[in-house]
Amino acid sequence: MKIETQAVHAGDRKKPGPAIPVTTPIHTASSYFYDSMEQLDRVFARTEPGYSYARYDNPTNAALEELMCALESGHGALACASGMAAVQMAVVTALAGRRKSVVAADALYGATIGLLNNVLEPTGVAVRFADIWDLDALRAAVDQARPGCILIETISNPLLRVGQIDRIADIARQAGAALVVDNTFGTPLLVRPLELGANFSVHSVTKYLAGHGDVLGGVVVSDRQHFEALRALSRVVGPVLGPFESYLTMRGIKTFPLRMERHCANACRVSAWLGAHPRVERVYFPGDPAHPDAAAVRRLFPANLYGGIVSFEIGNAGREEVFRFMDALKLIVPATSLGDVHSMMLYPVMSSHREISPQHRERMGIRDSLVRLSAGIEAVEDIIGDLEQALAAPAPSR
């Protein structure tokens, strides 16, 4: 089935009794029992399918996990309480039985960098950052670090670089490492990392999948090799998503392909408009023919689907000028997230990469003049009109 059909139907309409609910119910029970202790024992032993305790599994969560497996062509999935919980579960599972070493893209979401540097590294995990867009440099880093895990993003946050996932997967395989891909910016509509050789695809479902700003959650989709280890770790750690959030995520996913097409189309139009604006110094967008990874974008992404994020630098702007610009927005919401139906503007220096040192941000190319726009599904003329009036103030002199 096409992804548009899977988004509507996968995971739903199980038969709990004589009548079949058209959508998955919200199962709030924390524990379950059966007609006999023998059957409960088999369920605990996992020799018979069933539910015993909500930290292990939940029917609403299981429906979402089935849906995400269908969208991502995975073997199994785990719904988590946040996107960062999903990243941590994927990386820790990837390292199980492997050398405790991670090679990560040198441009990542700030909290992911924090997870690597401040949580995993103090426990003895060696962390090395590498230019994953230069495959020779990546091979050299992998040869030196001998990692158990390689961690990348489909589209990097916030400068929107695009790695060659299939070729990075080959490098990981040859090194005996597992490849974890954060596919939040890409979504299964643009790319499905497991089909390209990755071992884990991770999402913050808070973003495009749920899509309405009312869910905090994450999901890990894994291949067959790693799934049982992922679920075993989950049964101990308990990072599980609540059933109500799973229900809301499933409801959002039903319209996700439609919304994502509009996000992408609006981002294309906005990117082109920003590129011609005199106050905009530089635009970052994967659909730009001059994008440094244009060849990878053409090869891996469907035509005319480049993601819904546009980052740009305001000329001669520092923190004060960026704040003035964002305070002037009337339609676009200056809030810390992305992927909602409404357009959102974020200042990476203040939020997503706040905990990264200024020197590290500078090395990553994240400057004080950079903002990140998540194009919503509004009429694109209204999005552009809001940007135009907010940028209309005279350029500051420095």
Per-residue pLDDT tens digits for 165-217: 999 999 999 999 999 999 999 999 999 999 999 999 999 999 999 999 999 99
397 burial (CB, 10 Å; 0-12 / 13-18 / 19+) is exposed
Q: How far, in Å, are 24, 308, 319, 332, 344 from residue 275 at the CA level?
A: 45, 16, 21, 19, 19
Residue 302 DSSP code: P
- Looking at residue 365, its pLDDT comes to 79
Q: What pLDDT shows up at residue 239?
A: 96
d(CA 209, CA 7): 10
The pLDDT tens digits for 349-391 are: 876 777 677 777 777 778 889 999 999 999 999 999 999 999 9
What's domain 257-390's superfamily in CATH? Aspartate Aminotransferase, domain 1 (3.90.1150.10)
| Interval 327-335 mean pLDDT | 96
- pLDDT at position 367 is 86
Pair 239, 81: CB distance under 8 Å: yes
The set of residues, in sequence order, having a beta carbon less than 8 Å from that of 225 and lying 6+ positions away, is: 199
Structure confidence by residue, pLDDT tens digits, 288-327: 999 999 999 999 999 999 999 999 999 999 999 999 999 9
- Average pLDDT of span 151-174: 97
Phi-psi region of 162 (alpha: psi -120 to 50; beta: other; left: phi over 0): beta
Distance set, CA 131 to CA 70, 90, 151, 375 (Å) = 31, 21, 12, 28
Average model confidence (pLDDT) across the chain: 95
What pLDDT, on the 0 to 100 scale, is given for residue 15?
Answer: 76
Whether 15 is catalytic: no
Q: Which two tokens stand for residue 362?
A: 């500078």
Q: Indicate the domain borders of the chain.
A: 3-253, 257-390
The 10s digit of each residue's pLDDT in 273-284 is 999 999 999 999
Residue of 46, 55, 100, 128 with catalytic role: 55
Euclidean distance between CA atoms 68 and 74, whole angstroms = 8
Catalytic residue among 207, 231, 259, 361: 207
| Residue 99 known to be catalytic | no
Which among 314, 304, 389, 384 is positioned nearest to 343, based on CA atoms? 384
Residues 57, 106, 182, 340: which is the catalytic one? 182
Determine the pLDDT at residue 220: 98
Helices (H), 146-291: 165-175, 187-190, 224-237, 243-253, 256-275
Residue with tokens 């969208």: 71
Q: What is the CATH number of domain 3-253?
A: 3.40.640.10
Residue 142 has pLDDT above 60, yes or no: yes
Which DSSP symbol is given to 154? Answer: S
The better pLDDT of the pair 319, 103 is held by 103
From the list 206, 208, 234, the residue with the least C-alpha distance to 222 is 234
Section 228-239 average pLDDT: 97
Query: Active-site residue 207, yes or no?
Result: yes
Instruction: Please work out, in degrees rounded to the nearest 5, the angle formed at the alpha carbon of residue 338 by the alpha carbons of 332 and 343.
Output: 20
Q: What is the pLDDT of residue 394?
A: 60
The one catalytic residue in 109, 208, 284, 347 is 109
- Kindly state the DSSP code that residue 240 receives in the 8-state scheme: B
> Does residue 55 carry a catalytic annotation?
yes
- 397: pLDDT strictly greater than 60: no
Its pTM stands at: 0.95
Q: Give strand pairing partners of 162.
A: 155
Both tokens of 298, joined, read 């053409």
